[in-house]
Amino acid sequence: MLDPSPPLLVLGCGFTGAVVAGLRKASGGRVLATTRSPERAAELAQAGIEVHVLPALTAEAVERLVPDGADVLVAFPPDGATDAAVAPSLRRARAIAYVSSTAVYGDATGRIDEATPTSAANPRAAARLAAEAVYRERGAVTLRAAGIYGPGRGLHLRLLRGDFRMTGEGDQQGRNVVSRIHVEDLARLALAALDRAAPGEDFVVADDTPVPQIEVVRWLCARLGLELPAGAPREALHETLRHDRAVDNAKIKRALGMALLYPSYREGFEACLAVEAASPALAGAARPPHGGG
C-alpha cells in the first residue's frame, strides 16, 4: 500500500533536504527536488526522486515545479534575493517548512527557546531572518536548527582530520555549551511539521542533551583513539564555535508528539560511525562543516 502523503518538493536538496526527500520517498510518496549539483542529482535520481538541476531558482521555475496541494521544504541558504523571489510562487502548496538556523539568536547565551529575542546584528542572522519573514507570510513553519550533523558531516570527522579547535585554554578549554541535531531527527521533525504544525509557527530544533563541548570532544577522542585537540582564542574561531547556549527543544516535541531517535550526541555519533564504516567513501569525501555538529 502506498502512503497517501501529498507530493513533496524540496527546494535546495543538499545535506538535510536529501534526507527529508529519502524519508518521504521511502514511505511511498512522490518527491521532487532541485539541486545545482549534477552529481547529487544522479544520487537522488537513483532513489526514485524527480530531480531538476537548476543553476539558480527563479519564480517561474519554482511555480512550474509545485504540484497542487504539495508540501514544500525550503532548505537552501539565503542569498538576500532568491527567497523573496520564489516565495510567492508557492501559493499552490498545502504546507511549507523553512529550514533556518539558531544563528538568528546572535550572541545570546544560556537557555535558548522560541521566546528568546532574535538579533539581526550580523549579516548571517539578518539574512536568515529576512528569509524566514518572506516564507512566514506564506504560512510556512520555521525550523531553527542547531548544528546539524550526520553521516559524512560532523565534529567526529573534523577531529579525524585534525582541523578542529576548542574555545579557551587550560581548565576553561571547551567549557562552552553546544547544541546539535542529527540530520535524521531534523528530517523527521520537518516532515511532521509539514503534516501537522500550525501555519506560521516557529520552532527551535536540537537534541535533548546540550552539553559542554569538552564532554563531546573527550567522548569522541576516546572512541576514535585520538588526542584532545588544542584550544584557540575565542576570536580566532568560526562564530558558531563561540556560542555558549543550550537549545530547549520542548516546544516542537510537545507540538508534534515526537521523541528523537538520537536524543544525545552518543547515539547520534555512534550511528554516524556505523554508517561510515559501511561506506568509507562517505567519511573520506566529507567537507569540513561550518561550526558545530
Of 173, 158, 154, 167, which Cα lies nearest the Cα of 268?
A: 154
DSSP-derived secondary structure letter, 242:
S
Scanning the chain, the segments in alpha helix (DSSP H) are: 15-26, 38-46, 59-65, 82-86, 123-136, 155-161, 183-196, 213-224, 250-256, 265-278, 280-284
Please state the pTM of the whole predicted model: 0.93
- The domain segmentation of the chain, as residue ranges, is 8-284
**CATH code that applies to domain 8-284:** 3.40.50.720
pLDDT per residue as tens, the chain (293 positions): 445 689 999 999 999 999 999 999 999 889 999 999 999 999 999 999 999 999 999 999 999 999 999 999 999 999 999 999 999 999 999 999 999 999 999 999 999 999 999 999 999 999 999 999 999 999 999 999 999 999 999 999 999 999 888 776 555 567 889 999 999 999 999 999 999 999 999 999 999 999 999 999 999 999 999 999 887 666 655 565 667 899 999 999 999 999 999 999 999 999 999 999 998 777 664 443 333 44
One-letter amino acid identity for 34? T
Q: Which of 49, 14, 13, 17 has the alpha carbon at shortest distance from 30? A: 49
